[in-house]
Amino acid sequence: MSRAPSPIVLPPAKRIPKLVSEYLTPPDTLFTFEFDTYDIDESFLLKNIVGHIFLRMMQDTDWRGGGEIGSTSSSSSSNICGLASPEHHGTLATFIHLVCNHYRNNPYHNFQHAVNVLHSTYILLHRAHYLPRIPPAFVFATLIAALCHDVDHPGNTNSYEIHSNSALAMLYNDNSVLENHHCHLTFTLLEQSGLKNVLLNTVGVDGYRACRQVIIACILGTDMSKHSELLRTFEAATALVPAAAAAAPAVGAGANDIRDDSDDGEEKGGSVFGTEEAVLLLKCVVHFADLSNGTKHFEAVHFWSTKISEEFWIQSLHEEQLGLPSLSFMKARDPLSMCVNELMFLRNHVLPMWEGWVRKCPDMHFLVEAIQRNIREWEALEQDYRHTHEIHSLTF
């Protein structure tokens, strides 16, 4: 009679504590695809990283020539450069602080994940040469959406909210329950911090409404049930806008480095996107960023997979207690099941999605290569676990 497999203990992901002083200046890898927050769980450091990303965005963006909302020319004058002014940095810092405080300590959906998504959103926009072609206020709104896209996430799925008849499910009529909550809270925090007024004063009422449209689209677009629809949107949006410049990386720059070939998008790019096409594109970019873990190095990939598995497992325990339906993959927490789940997720969702991105931005093929490498890593781990399982079954 075969015995139940012995539990195999997965080695913990390597953790290197970061010193506060390291982030008073940005880490060298911050503006590359190598960066990941998996080894930074200190909120002060994470807030510092967020500050660096917003500052970099403000420095990189041509606030005078980047185009007004609704304009189609990249050379039109604009009144939005006020947003980048140092006098507003304090308000931005207050906002970042408030957002950080409203993320919960979930295994996965926490401030660390939020900073990762903000980071990926920024470098995707930059590297795809979209930045100079999007009105700066829209870029700003997109970064706000990326940072806030999971704020106050309770650590369970929409399905759990709906089946447990939660107050949020009642409020949002079972429709993108969590995303609506994140979005509503984002606007509350924008108001509380004073950043809404700064935006209003710099871009005006119509500009603010357009920024609000961007934030709503980007946050609601992170609902995984809209994934397939969003991939179609991406195809449509990128058909509307000219393909991103397929620039080869500058000599000496790493393939995934955004530093040395920045700021040349305008020459390659053409005019500023109109509001409708920009909104479509930006909501896709935030969704891509939300599913960008698989494009990182395996240590980070493994870390985040462990964290999402833990969060799923905790939800399954609550579902069991409450007698609610549960998805079987959420209950499986052993390393072999984790490999199987991750392979399914990477092969069925993550890889096809990033292949779509790379068709539009061919010089970013290294992202697809990274996912393929990670698939091979999971396959090797799966083989190891199956082999160990067989040995255990035979020996005992």
| 147 near ligand CMP, judged by CB under 6 A | no
To the nearest whole angstrom, how small is the minimum distance from the Cβ of residue 81 to ligand CMP? 34
Classify 151 as helix, strand or coil. coil
DSSP 88: G
Choice among 52, 88, 102, 109 that is catalytic: 109
| 305 near ligand CMP, judged by CB under 6 A | yes
To the nearest whole angstrom, how small is the minimum distance from the Cβ of residue 326 to ligand CMP? 14
Contact 130, 286 (CB under 8 A): no
* Catalytic status, residue 109: yes
Note the maximum CA span of the chain: 78
Alpha-carbon distance of 150 to 158, in angstroms, equals 12
Contact 108, 87 (CB under 8 A): no
Classify 43 as helix, strand or coil. helix
| 319 near ligand CMP, judged by CB under 6 A | no
Residues 339-378 as x/- pattern, contact with ligand CMP by CB under 6 A: ---x--x---------------------------------
Alpha-carbon distance of 30 to 178, in angstroms, equals 29
Contacts of 1 (CB under 8 A, 6+ apart): none
| 36 near ligand CMP, judged by CB under 6 A | no
Nearest residue to ligand CMP, by Cβ distance, number only: 345
Among 120, 176, 293, 316, indicate the residue that binds ligand CMP (CB under 6 A).
293
| 332 near ligand CMP, judged by CB under 6 A | no
| 290 near ligand CMP, judged by CB under 6 A | yes
| 224 near ligand CMP, judged by CB under 6 A | yes
Options 211-219, 252-260, 304-312, 364-372: segment touching ligand CMP (CB under 6 A): 304-312
To the nearest whole angstrom, how small is the minimum distance from the Cβ of residue 220 to ligand CMP? 12
32 bridge partner residues: 257
Integer CA distances (angstroms), 103 to 5, 125, 216, 329, in order = 38, 25, 18, 26
DSSP 349: I
Binding interface with ligand CMP (CB under 6 A): 222, 224, 290, 293, 304-305, 308, 342, 345
Residues taking part in catalysis: 109
